[in-house]
Every structure is written in C-alpha cells, then in structure tokens.
C-alpha cells in the first residue's frame, strides 16, 4: 500500500474515531467494561428482567397500593439488605412481597390489640418468637436480614412461588395472602435494584 493511500485511510479512520467519540462510545470488543463516555454511563442501568423477578408468573389476583416516601424508603432498605446478604433480586421480591402483606411496607410498632400478639416491624416479627429485640426487629436492615436468614434455610426457595417461600418463613394464618403482592414487589425491585 503506498504511503499516500495509507495516510488517507488512517485520516478517514481517525475522523471516524473522533466522530464516534463525540457521538458516544464505539461498538468494539474490549476487555475493559468501563464506559468511555460518562454521559452514556449514567443512563446505562439495566433493570432485572421479569423472568428473574417472577419466574413462576404471578399467582392469583394482584393488589396494588400507592406508596408514600417512607414505604418506598423501606422497600429500598429491603433491597439494600438483600444485597448485603449476597442474595439475588428474587430474594428481594419475596422479602418485599412478604413485607407488603405483613405491614404494607410500614415499620409498625406495637399496635396493642390491633396486631398479632407482639408482632412489630416490616415483617411483623415477634420478640417472643426469637426474631430479636423490639429495637432490632423495627430496624429495616436487621429485620430484612433476619427474614432472609430464614429464607436461606428453606431448601429450594429459589424455585418456589412467592407465597410458598414467604409462608415457609413466616408461618402465617393466611398463607395465600402473600401472592397478591408479587407484581408490585417485582416492580419495586426492577425500579430500585440498580439505583
């Protein structure tokens, strides 16, 4: 290849690379997965897919409630604790679905005759049943980690419908009620898992 032609090809390639950098990162194979453009890096947040979040599909009629900031913060705390426990997005869906049924994602204190015995917190855990002290079970991180510890002890929880996994840990008088919150729980995990 003569020098003039070679320089022309390199000049065109250089313009292409420069143009590519201005428009965004080039599509090429590399071992470095760090995005070269901080603007596009900020918008590259993949949501977990529905197959991961709801592998069995939702069971039965789904309920939905509008959430206030405290409830959203509690959902985010459950997600953070799930990550801290080194568990996956499905575990977060099960935990949030359980907390929806138990407390509507509200960190409830003792409600006297209006709640079940001494149940408190997001998961309505009971100090008298060994879940921890009142201070512990009303701490979103602690109560989530306690729930997830119980979930992790259930053989095959990953392959169970939400309501079966939740019931195995919670031992509720209404075992099928957890199922109604699976879609909203999955939506919250999809929205907040990578934030």
* Rounded Cα gap, residues 11 and 67, in angstroms: 57
* Each residue's pLDDT tens digit, 33-44: 444 444 434 444
Question: What is the reported pLDDT for 48?
Answer: 82
Ranges 46-55, 63-72, 104-113, most confident: 63-72
Q: Which own/partner pairs from 151-154 qualify as long-range (CB within 8 Å, at least 24 positions apart)? A: 151/87, 151/91, 151/94, 151/95, 152/85, 152/87
Among 21-25, 152-156, 189-193, where is mean pLDDT lowest?
21-25
Angle (CA) 175-107-142 rounded to 5° is 85
This prediction's pTM: 0.73
State what percent of residues in the chain have pLDDT above 70. 73
**Reported confidence tier of residue 17, pLDDT bands at 50, 70, 90:** very low
Portion of the chain with pLDDT greater than 90, in percent: 56
Q: What is the dihedral of CA 73, 116, 111, 149, to 10 degrees?
A: -30
188 pLDDT higher than 70: yes
Rg (CA), the chain: 24
In this predicted structure, the answer to whether residue 155 has a pLDDT above a threshold of 60 is yes
98-118 pLDDT per residue, tens: 999 999 999 987 665 555 567
Compute φ and ψ for 121, nearest 5 degrees.
85, -170
Q: State which fold the 50-192 domain adopts.
A: Lysozyme (1.10.530)
- Cβ(162)–Cβ(97) below 8 Å: yes
The per-residue pLDDT for 45 is 54
What residues does 121 pair with on adjacent strands? Answer: 108
Residue extents of the structural domains in the chain: 3-43, 50-192
Spatial distance between the Cα atoms of 97 and 53, rounded to a whole number of angstroms:
11
Give the mean model confidence (pLDDT) for residues 125-132. Answer: 88
């Amino acid at each position: 290849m003569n020098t003039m032609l070679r320089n022309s090809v390199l000049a065109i390639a250089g313009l292409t690379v420069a143009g590519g950098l201005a428009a965004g990162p080039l599509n090429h194979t590399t071992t470095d997965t760090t995005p070269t453009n901080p603007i596009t890096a900020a918008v590259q947040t993949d949501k977990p897919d529905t197959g991961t979040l709801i592998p069995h599909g939702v069971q039965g009629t789904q309920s939905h409630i509008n959430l206030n900031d405290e409830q959203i913060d509690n959902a985010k705390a459950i997600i953070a604790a799930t990550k801290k426990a080194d568990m996956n997005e499905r575990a977060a869906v099960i935990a949030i679905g359980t907390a929806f049924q138990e407390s509507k994602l509200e960190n409830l204190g003792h409600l006297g005759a209006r709640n079940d015995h001494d149940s408190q917190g997001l998961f309505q855990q009971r100090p008298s049943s060994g879940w921890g002290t009142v201070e512990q079970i009303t701490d979103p991180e602690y109560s989530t980690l306690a729930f997830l510890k119980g979930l992790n002890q259930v053989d095959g929880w990953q392959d169970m419908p939400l309501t079966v996994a939740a019931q195995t840990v919670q031992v509720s008088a209404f075992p099928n009620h957890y199922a109604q919150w699976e879609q909203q729980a999955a939506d919250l995990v999809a929205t907040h898992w990578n934030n």
